[in-house]
Amino acid sequence: LEGPGGSEAWLIGWPPGTGTGWHDHAESIGAFTTATGELTENALAVRLPTKGWRSLELAAGIDRRRTLPRGASRAFGHHHVHEVLNESRTEHAVSVHAYYPPLPLMRRFSRTGSVLRLEEIERPEDWQ
């Protein structure tokens, strides 16, 4: 949805056991709120290079984990790398996300232990 001042908002439903996988939001800043249910955010407390790499060895101690029950919010800056999960086995969750500027792209990553790999770059036309 188009939002005020050139922002955009997303309403996301989370069936039990679903998640986003590791990703970032490029140059956009954003925030999200858990509207119903409970979500978990795993994030990296480090800014990754924006270009020129396919695989990185992550240092110890950069992992952050947050539980976001109904009504809890999380704001983030440029190039915030995270994954959002509904770890419930039975409860559906819903969240509202806002981004500014609207997402120009998202980089998707895979992670095995301390190794983070850039897997693909998605653009808005991929989400239609």
> pLDDT, tens digit, for every residue of 77-88?
988 999 999 999
Give per-residue burial for 69-94: e unless 16+ CB within 10 Å, then b.
Answer: eeeeebebeebbbbbbbbebeeeebb
The amino acid present at 63, given as its one-letter code, is D
pTM: 0.90
Report pLDDT digits (tens) over 40-61: 999 999 888 877 889 999 999 9
Q: Which of 7-11, 53-57, 123-127 has the lowest mean pLDDT?
A: 123-127
Q: Which CATH number fits domain 4-127: 3.40.50.2030, 3.40.50.300, 1.20.1440.230, 2.60.120.10?
A: 2.60.120.10
For the chain, the domains span 4-127
Nearest partner of 24 among 98, 93, 101, 83, judged by Cα? 83
Q: What's CA 127's distance to the chain center, in Å?
A: 15
